Chain A
Amino acid sequence: MITETGHFVLILALVLAIFQTIVPMYGAAKNDARLMATAQTAAITQFLLVSIAFGALMHGYLVSDFTIKNVYANSHSAKPLIYKISGVWANHEGSLLLWVLILTMFGAAVAVFSGNLPPTLKARVLAVQGSVASAFLGFILFTSNPFERLNPAPIEGTGMNPMLQDPALAIHPPLLYAGYVGLSVAFSFAVAALIEGKVDAAWARWVRPWTLAAWMFLTVGISLGSWWAYYELGWGGWWFWDPVENASFMPWLVATALLHSAIVVEKRNALKVWTILLAILAFSLSLLGTFLVRSGVLTSVHAFANDPERGVFILAILVFFVGGSLSLYAWRATSLKAGGIFAPLSREGSLVLNNLFLAVAAFAVLTGTLFPLVYESFTGGKISVGAPFFNMVFGILIVPLLLLLPVGPFLSWKRANGLAAIKRLWIAGLAVVATIVTVFVLKADGPWAAPIGMGIAVWLIAGSLSEMAERTKFLRSPFMTFWARLKGLPGASIGMTLAHLGMGVTVIGIVAITAWKQERILVMKPSESINFAGTQVTFVSEIAGQGPNYSAETGRFDVTVDGKFVTSLYSEKRIFQPSGTPTTEVGIHPFWSGDLYVVMGDAVKTGGRTVRLYFNPFAPLIWFGSLIMFIGGMISLLDRRYRVGAPKKAKKPTLQAAE
């Protein structure tokens, strides 16, 4: 009964979404306040309906109702509670339902929090949101119904992919989807603005918080995925340029560009046409990512669905929204021209360069991801584009961006004095030189690029701090003045400093693990020891054990440094029931200088086990840096200017007209 209710309200949600697409849009065209006002109610109700549907499916998982095909195929009664919950979205149908849930949540949030939007813009934004929801609700109901029943009902479910039974991966999809789908708001605003034919500073100010929120979720979602790969896949890698990773990385790059260009629209009323395009592209890449992952066109661990019918449906959605919005753009964008003038060397100019490099980097990732597909469909030949290609091309494109990054915030709007900006970065420059020399001396045998990489990281960190020091008159004025200025800094400014600094921290981790990773592969027998990366690792014993839904062989490794006991690491080989698939759990000890990473492998015929030891210097900084970026985004989001900036009164005329 609960399941049927879920199915039924999902159908209602689709009908409502179609209503939300058509009626407010028509109302806005006719300037009919009553019709426009329906958008708000529709958006909120739709969110409630989808929540009920989602709750119904969740209920099926919690009580292990195997009469539901989706639960049968993806769950098991012995699964721990958290994976019963995350099991809801660890499959094709459920993850799409989550997608729509988050989409309607953003729609409802726009309806609730945008009281000060002009009524026509608000109606149109919500109508576009409704159209996206219609498409995906239609997709779910017609091709991927999660509420399908089974008769007769099986006794037990087939279980969930053991690889996905992990805390980080349980929350990775919701975060990533919040990022993907959050970009739909920027998209809806862009399309609505194209229809209205008007983009101004207020528009940018409304769009920025939504884009920022989406960007934060993407940042933390991608970062969690990468962390998971690091400790779960068991060979110490953290980024593989897998098409699925690229699918989330491209929207991130474009969203980053969009965040920066929206600032120019807001502050200087320039770059409007470009910003609209970015907003469209960012969500288009999200849709493309959904298509790539969901259609099974690239078969990899994430591609659960291999049904061509679904592929064609998603492709149709993709073509409609991307093609439709770009056509609208081509038709209407010219009407937006105008805006502030600026010299090439200015804050605006630096942000344009930032956008250019980010957009081209996203394009390079896109080309590399799709090239094998396109090549095969045109020539029939098979070609691989893998990590070596991406590292090289992406590296070439991203280094200039990182070098220019600390300079930008020192440039003034309209026309800047480049020399003065560079001069104010002299301390940062000095820190860079010191870093390069130190690293070069300490790691004389290391790769030649490593000191330069570290130099870039320090450039980012010191450059960001210099900007903040400049603003707060650090050390140039009494401490109290500095403190007062620091407290007075707008959230957006602190957020920027943190985000840029976080990037630098991430770069340290990336450079260190790439340049100085140590690895050792050997056979160890119990009680054998080995000296590795300044530690002594002893393979103590292996014990057989039993988890809630798996059996395990656990290897214990004791780590000592200079004869002093540090920790015991456990690496496990698990065999999951009922599928019988094996997974590996890695033992990691974080030293200040990096991670000691121990993997126990298979038993060797001659006795003992294959063991892999890694030392990954500064590896945690990769994810710690993205956490700092996330916090920066959060502080920026809390900037009260976003809440009190636009006039509050706008609500009134709408209400009056509605009565």
Chain B
Amino acid sequence: MRFLVAVAFLVLSFTAPSLAVQPEEVLKDPVLEKRARDLSTELRCLVCQNQSIDDSDAPLAKDLRILLRERLVAGDSDEQAKSYLVNRFGEFVLLRPVFALHTVFLWFGPFVLLGLGIIFLFRQKKRKPKTKAENQLSEIEQSQLKELLDGQKN
């Protein structure tokens, strides 16, 4: 059921993509509004597929945008506003996962692979490659070669 609701929201949010942030939501203070917009791009619209609350026009995204602005107006720092939302909605709300033990693989996996790759390359280069005669021709190729050479003689 939850899935169906999600799909319903998804359909709505994707087919009416026109406007996310509405004029009446915009804060008067441009600095605060800029912070709100930047933070919005990092927060997930929970019922959408891979859309930030900044991009989505699902009703929930609107509620979250307003909630976020309320927190900022109340004087929260960016981090405080984020953790306020995480406490309520869980880590799922963050589009940029936290650095923590359970996300180590995600954050460092690629860089560990890069490091291993570089180490491997340097070790590989030091060892002299064993060159094996591998340019042997197959029987058919040999017959073709013979044919070619014979052809040239004639």
A residues neighboring B (CB under 8 Å): 118-120, 162-163, 198, 200, 232-235, 237, 240-243, 298-301, 336-339, 341, 343-344, 352, 356-357, 359-361, 363-364, 367-368, 371, 375, 379, 381-389, 392-393, 396-397, 521-523, 573, 581-584, 599-602, 604, 610, 612, 647, 649-650, 652-653
The 5 closest A-B pairs by CB, nearest first: A386-B95, A364-B110, A388-B96, A601-B19, A300-B49
Question: Which size bracket describes the interface of B in this complex?
Answer: 35 or more
| A357 smallest CB distance to B (angstroms) | 8
Question: How far, in angstroms, from A119 to B23 measured CA to CA in the complex?
Answer: 69
Question: How far, in angstroms, from A564 to B92 measured CA to CA in the complex?
Answer: 50
B18/A385 in contact, CB under 8 A? no
B residues neighboring A (CB under 8 Å): 3, 6-7, 10-11, 14-23, 26, 41-42, 44, 49-52, 55, 90-97, 102-103, 105-107, 109-111, 113-114, 117-118, 121-122, 125, 128-135, 138, 140-141, 143-144, 147-148
Residues of A within 8 A of B6 (CB): 299
Contact of B113 among A200, A336, A360, A389 (CB under 8 A): A360
Question: How far, in angstroms, from A233 to B7 measured CA to CA in the complex?
Answer: 18
Having A383-B97, A386-B52, A584-B17, one finds 10 other A-B pairs with CB under 8 Å, namely: A299-B49, A339-B129, A356-B118, A375-B102, A381-B91, A383-B91, A387-B41, A393-B110, A521-B19, A653-B143
Interface centre among B20, B97, B122 (most CB of A within 10 A): B97
Interface centre among B14, B55, B134, B143 (most CB of A within 10 A): B134
| B85 smallest CB distance to A (angstroms) | 12
| A588 smallest CB distance to B (angstroms) | 15
Smallest Cβ-Cβ distance to B42: which chain A residue = A388
B18/A234 in contact, CB under 8 A? yes
| B150 smallest CB distance to A (angstroms) | 12
A118/B140 in contact, CB under 8 A? yes
B118/A387 in contact, CB under 8 A? no
Residues of B within 8 A of A242 (CB): 49-50
Residues of A within 8 A of B55 (CB): 235, 237, 240
Interface centre among A235, A237, A300, A337 (most CB of B within 10 A): A235
| B139 smallest CB distance to A (angstroms) | 9
Question: How far, in angstroms, from A198 to B138 measured CA to CA in the complex?
Answer: 10
Question: How far, in angstroms, from A522 to B125 measured CA to CA in the complex?
Answer: 61
- Secondary structure at chain A's binding surface: helix, strand, loop or mixed? mixed
Question: How far, in angstroms, from A344 to B16 measured CA to CA in the complex?
Answer: 54
Residues of B within 8 A of A602 (CB): 18-19
Residues of B within 8 A of A361 (CB): 110
A384/B95 in contact, CB under 8 A? yes
Question: How far, in angstroms, from A502 to B94 measured CA to CA in the complex?
Answer: 34
Residues of B within 8 A of A383 (CB): 91-92, 97, 103
Residues of A within 8 A of B102 (CB): 375, 379
Given contacts A356-B121, A384-B44, A397-B114, contact A301 B17 (CB under 8 A): no
Given contacts A301-B49, A599-B19, contact A386 B121 (CB under 8 A): no
Residues of A within 8 A of B118 (CB): 356
Smallest Cβ-Cβ distance to A389: which chain B residue = B96
Residues of B within 8 A of A344 (CB): 121-122, 125
7 contacts between A and B (CB under 8 A): A299-B7, A338-B130, A341-B128, A360-B113, A363-B109, A364-B110, A368-B106
Given contacts A384-B93, A388-B95, contact A367 B106 (CB under 8 A): yes
Question: How far, in angstroms, from A200 to B136 measured CA to CA in the complex?
Answer: 11
Question: How far, in angstroms, from A37 to B80 measured CA to CA in the complex?
Answer: 71
Given contacts A356-B118, A383-B92, contact A363 B18 (CB under 8 A): no
B14/A163 in contact, CB under 8 A? yes
A397/B110 in contact, CB under 8 A? yes
A118/B141 in contact, CB under 8 A? yes
Question: How far, in angstroms, from A343 to B105 measured CA to CA in the complex?
Answer: 33
Residues of A within 8 A of B128 (CB): 341
Question: How far, in angstroms, from A200 to B138 measured CA to CA in the complex?
Answer: 13
Contact of A200 among B3, B111, B135 (CB under 8 A): B135
| B119 smallest CB distance to A (angstroms) | 11
